[in-house]
Chain A
Amino acid sequence: AQSVTQLDSQVPVFEEAPVELRCNYSSSVSVYLFWYVQYPNQGLQLLLKYLSGSTLVKGINGFEAEFNKSQTSFHLRKPSVHISDTAEYFCAVANSGGYQKVTFGIGTKLQVIP
């Protein structure tokens, strides 16, 4: 069975500083990986996804993530955060060749400090 671990429940960071939100997954087969963002009292919105190909994936709002198969990680990064990036971020994994549904992590709250 697949699983995903988000190592930090909350990440405070000053405005214009870089940030990394960590995500590790567990799966015995090839995977698809996703990062979603949720603003307060709203649904989730896809930031980026890895299906195959280049391990560096660029998404919306200046975010990017790198797929590292040997470390089973898919960390999310942004070089300079803005107040508007304050939100909750969810990592998710799915087996690329199977019929199992997507599994979500528990979420990381990013708090950008002015």
Chain B
Amino acid sequence: GDSVTQMEGPVTLSEEAFLTINCTYTATGYPSLFWYVQYPGEGLQLLLKATKADDKGSNKGFEATYRKETTSFHLEKGSVQVSDSAVYFCALSEINNAGNMLTFGGGTRLMVKP
């Protein structure tokens, strides 16, 4: 079945450092790919998405490119802020026998220090 693997955290960075969180996926078809962010005590918020190969999703300085050849969707940001501290989830969506469903990775906690 479909699966998503992302790097384990926590990732600890200083403010203004460059961020990369790796994400790879396994899917039978052509999924849409997502990054969600979860702040403490809150639900998940969609950060960005890409629906086909070579698409780049971007939002709030974060970017990720849908790489079909490497089945990857790595999250990057050029200069992180303390307010970016959260848990980040990579996910895919593929319509299958279970209907529309999101398959999530295990999450990566990011901690940004001033």
Chain A complexes with chain B:
no
